[in-house]
Structure 1
């Protein structure tokens, strides 16, 4: 039987419009997910100071307090602060928390104000500060998901206390860590996007320097954690321990929020954040076995070691619209989109394609073009029906007879040598390696979205230049190459 809080959540989920949900960037936590999150905290004694920022109707607080009342925690007293900016939810939040006050060992403060400004004001130690929040022993969070503009008041406020980040959810987690006592516990459900990419690097540094990662939980289905709100976002639950020495990390996985197929393994921290990785990507291995990328010592080279570059396709079509043509004509060169590449090779031009096939070559476009040659390309976005995130193809010059230059549209990543083509065998070897199951599995360990950025490809490890050339020479001699053939060939790699 659903609790009263869960019934209210379902009702609000159905009655609240998408525009209002987007305005606050908030999606209320389902009951089973809330209970799972509350269950991740270790037992505690003494007095608990609990923070629930972005509390909604109190689903997470209720799960935490239910565990306490059931004997799952041995606190003598719980004092909590709940922050909620949506005043329409405040009566529901107040009603939820009132249910736990009957013993006199629980008190709650509900703040209908902006958590970021309140926390920054308290942490900055401003002499004129009107709010001084006491430190917390525990924090349970489902923070709002919304981008923070670089020139916004939020960014300037956060910088006052050394937090640099690009989204409300990461700001909430960073502030919760900053407000927590040494040994304090933070459990949050957040998008997985913070695990990689340059924009979240300062946030990763902030967290890893101040807390230990104790637990990571991954939902394998992208649309199940908040299915009632139609959220298509890969979410992760993380437990952090403030100011503690980093040790092994427990990683659990379930398909969805029923947790019916939950599996859990412990991993050394070196498998979560690689010691020699400057960007400090956070990997989420889903099994204890190492995959081919970890097992083969031959896969240890950077693109810089290989003298290869990777760039995002420089042609942003809407900015160069006057120069685009549906089909080739005099003074045009090919403009390549992901749709021009398939497992069977390069097809150009494609009649009836929704995208232009060509771009004028002139003084305004010349700097965006590449000379004809062999290139390896990777789609920046994989389609829903594709099983792999990393999808690579080879640009073959023979598909572009008498064409001196090529344009690569912004939805492609291009491997090249100083804006020149690659040796044919190198281009084919790179594509074969990138299309392997091992690369795709390894990529999924640190990337929670379908976008494949040039930065991600730049930071990956590759076989040596000679090995890639041998792979390419083998690939050129084959007819149709299947996934099984690619994976089998990769397993033969040696120094």
Structure 2
């Protein structure tokens, strides 16, 4: 993250809000150590957790000693106070601060702010009521406060959830923030579990860099990495900021193409001649959040005041099946004056079901059995099994985002599962991008073809006699 900043000035004031034990500030010091010209740094760190303050101070003293030995200078101050409330805003002002004359500007800010929702009546939410609505998340308030504390041209690098990029709750924040800050860089993580192993991170996170400047139409760079090491970033691409920051619907969303194929899909959708709303179509999530409607939930389908409650498991291709009992989920909602806000009027709807490979696996046991495949645990099957009945070929497609590639060991495992299946096999490993392919290249079995989503018209073939055809089983 420290390397995302542009070349540092000779004299720098740097803000680290939610500093913890000072890891991000230490990373900036580490970068300064690589610079030949002496630098003078002053760090201002905000941290309220008294348990980590001794370690934070110790780490900063070590940084100061290391910089001095290399000919640089470091001073710092630790503020044990609430970062947001200590710099609370004055709504309607160009600056966030009640008295801009008391505001000391920073050249850069780096942060890993806390992530939690705020009660809309909390002091933090009330302080930002001009730019937020509903239940905001504290991390957005950290970003807004830091932005106000930067000098013109100052830079902000932060690791946060990606939820601020879209949605109604963050719309006011985005509009306020993006009027003052120009987005320059987004780094994405291929794997949330690998990037934050052991940290119990529930949201998808990203690293962003913003400059304090008005929107200028420049490009935004994107990169990805599998783990937490940004130095291993791959697949760096650039897109026009006017294409990424989209205000055509009035919501000013930040669109995030995680791979080149996503960008191609976005361009196809952008080419459509009209928006859904122009055809009289409205899209929304259902109004029922079960934990907020517990008093109206019914476990039977024949209650006289009950109306159907539709879950994803009720939605099938071109068909809706109800009632279906599953895992103790309620079947209906009691209709009464108090529950009206949870009900939809009777009219025509198209139901769309979000799906994931884990929650909504399509596993046609009967068809697999007819092929001689005995399924005892569907997670051991490849991600996709396709049967070409005319030739009696099986296409076995594995995505590296789940099991990894078809390695020699994985190939033997699948062959053991298919020992009673007479169909010939074609193995395909699907990669998101070239970076993922290079990372797993040494683990791929020679019997598999490689398909890469970023270049979907091409296939990679290893050193075997067959291309996209079955190998004879021995």
Question: TM-score of the superposition, structure 1-length normalised?
Answer: 0.63
In structure 2, the partner of 1:299 is: 272
In structure 2, the partner of 1:44 is: 8
Question: How many angstroms does 1:69 deviate by?
Answer: 1.5
In structure 2, the partner of 1:424 is: none
In structure 1, the partner of 2:364 is: none
Question: Does structure 2 conserve the Cα–Cα contact (< 8 Å) formed by 1:212 and 1:246?
Answer: no
Question: Does structure 2 conserve the Cα–Cα contact (< 8 Å) formed by 1:325 and 1:356?
Answer: yes
Larger radius of gyration: 2
SS at match of 2:87: helix
Identify the match of residue 262 of structure 1 among 205, 210, 234.
234
Question: Does structure 1 conserve the Cα–Cα contact (< 8 Å) formed by 2:301 and 2:332?
Answer: yes
Q: Structure 1 residues 111, 344: closer, same or farther in 2, change over 3 A?
A: same
Identify the match of residue 82 of structure 1 among 37, 42, 45.
45
Q: Over the residues paired in the alignment, what is the CA RMSD in angstroms?
A: 3.3
Question: How many angstroms does 1:217 deviate by?
Answer: 0.5
CA distance in 1, matches of 2:265, 2:64: 55
In structure 1, the partner of 2:313 is: 339
Identify the match of residue 181 of structure 1 among 137, 151, 169.
151
Question: Does structure 2 conserve the Cα–Cα contact (< 8 Å) formed by 1:252 and 1:265?
Answer: yes
SS at match of 2:242: helix
Q: Structure 1 residues 330, 158: closer, same or farther in 2, change over 3 A?
A: closer
Question: How many angstroms does 1:206 deviate by?
Answer: 1.7
Matches within 5 A, 1:300-339: 300-315=273-288, 319=293, 321=295, 324-328=298-302, 332-339=306-313
Q: Structure 1 residues 256, 308: closer, same or farther in 2, change over 3 A?
A: same
CA distance in 1, matches of 2:246, 2:347: 35
Question: Does structure 1 conserve the Cα–Cα contact (< 8 Å) formed by 2:217 and 2:242?
Answer: no
- Name which of structure 1's ranges 141-150 and 272-281 shifts more when overlaid on structure 2: 272-281
Deviations along 1:116-164, one digit per CA (max 9) or x if unpaired, are 122238976657x9x94521001111111122221111123335xx553
Q: Structure 1 residues 372, 280: closer, same or farther in 2, change over 3 A?
A: closer
Q: Structure 1 residues 84, 387: closer, same or farther in 2, change over 3 A?
A: farther
Matches within 5 A, 1:185-200: 185-200=155-170
Q: Structure 1 residues 238, 324: closer, same or farther in 2, change over 3 A?
A: same
- For structure 1, the 5+ residue unaligned runs are 1-36, 389-486, 488-495
In structure 1, the partner of 2:203 is: 233
In structure 2, the partner of 1:251 is: 222
Pick the structure with more helix per residue: 1
CA distance in 2, matches of 1:361, 1:325: 14
Question: How many angstroms does 1:246 deviate by?
Answer: 4.2
Is 1:385 the counterpart of 2:358? The answer is yes
Higher RCO, 1 or 2 (CA under 8 Å, sep at least 6)? 1
Question: How many angstroms does 1:374 deviate by?
Answer: 5.0
Is 1:212 the counterpart of 2:182? The answer is yes
Question: How many angstroms does 1:200 deviate by?
Answer: 0.5
In structure 1, the partner of 2:26 is: 62
In structure 1, the partner of 2:257 is: 285
SS at match of 1:308: coil
- Name which of structure 1's ranges 104-113 and 231-240 shifts more when overlaid on structure 2: 104-113
CA distance in 1, matches of 2:53, 2:165: 32
CA distance in 1, matches of 2:341, 2:41: 63
